[in-house]
Amino acid sequence: MTTTSSFLNLILYNSTTNQSGSFLNWSNDVSGSSNSNMTKIDSFSQEISGCVINLNSNISGSISSINSGISTLSGSVSTLTTNLNISNYKMQKLKEFTGAGQADFTNISQNHNHLLIMGVTGTTFSGISNVVADFNGDANQGNYSSIQFSKSSSESEYITPRRPGGIVIGNSNTYSSPLYGTSLFAIIPNYSSTGGFFKTATSFYGTIEDPYSVGIQGGVWKTTSPITRIRVSVSYSGTRYNFVTGTKISLYGFG
């Protein structure tokens, strides 16, 4: 009596126990009928072939999707890189001083081309005094030159050279009211460059407390070294004075 295999249900013959069967039966079981071993194996091979084709198609589709994903990711990385490069040229706040005392911006980033100093100030000095910026710890008057144009509510108008041990970047009034401060706006071009021209600054200010005044200033620091430190304070006749509470001075890099 024949038996069958657990896989594909193939008909099995035992050379000892199945010798009584006829050759016809044996040949039919092997390949001569629709239920023969060869028919079963052939059907199985076709199923395997179909599965392999489907698997190959799925793998190809997956690879195509992966490639598409990689292409999309590459495009995103390229866009991100472009945006980061663009952001390098946008304005970035580097430092900020708030409160009383004197602003001292140290370890200034060299990742930009130009600097902007912007804020509002009040001072402990009684009267109008210059706001001065010196660089890299250098307060030697001989290394700086400034010129200032100012016009006040008393109709006085003057152009005055200044050498207070820094570049004049504005004026500041006595801080006698919480509602009034003096605006400050100064640009320092090419601060991070080495060589070329001396370092310069151009600025303007406006004060809205008697005497009302507006002015523009320009100055030079006679060195070509990169600027890594800026001190901002109030100066009058060679004496430095503090800012008062309410003062805020921000340092920005751009370009």
Q: Cα separation of 228 and 230, whole Å?
A: 7
Q: Cα separation of 109 and 112, whole Å?
A: 7
Q: In degrees to the nearest 10, what's the CA dihedral of 96, 99, 105, 106?
A: -110
Q: What is the pLDDT of residues 180-223, one digit of tens each?
A: 788 999 999 999 999 899 999 999 988 776 567 788 999 999 99
CB-count burial class (<10 Å; 0-12, 13-18, 19+) for 46: exposed
Range 227-245 average pLDDT: 92
pTM confidence score: 0.65
Q: Residue 34 phi/psi, 5° resolution? A: -70, -15
- CB neighbourhood size of 206 (10 A): 14
Q: Select the more confidently predicted residue: 33 or 95.
A: 95
pLDDT for residue 19: 57
Q: Cα separation of 19 and 13, whole Å?
A: 9
> Distances in Å between the alpha carbon of 164 and those of 132, 209, 230, 239?
7, 24, 15, 9
Range 45-58 average pLDDT: 66
Return the beta strands (E) in 99-156 as ranges: 103-105, 114-121, 129-135, 144-152
DSSP code, position 30: I
Q: What is the pLDDT of residues 16-50, one digit of tens each?
A: 655 556 655 656 656 666 677 667 666 766 666 66
Range 231-239 average pLDDT: 90
Q: Which of 143, 135, 161 is nearest to 231 (CA)?
A: 135
DSSP code, position 226: P
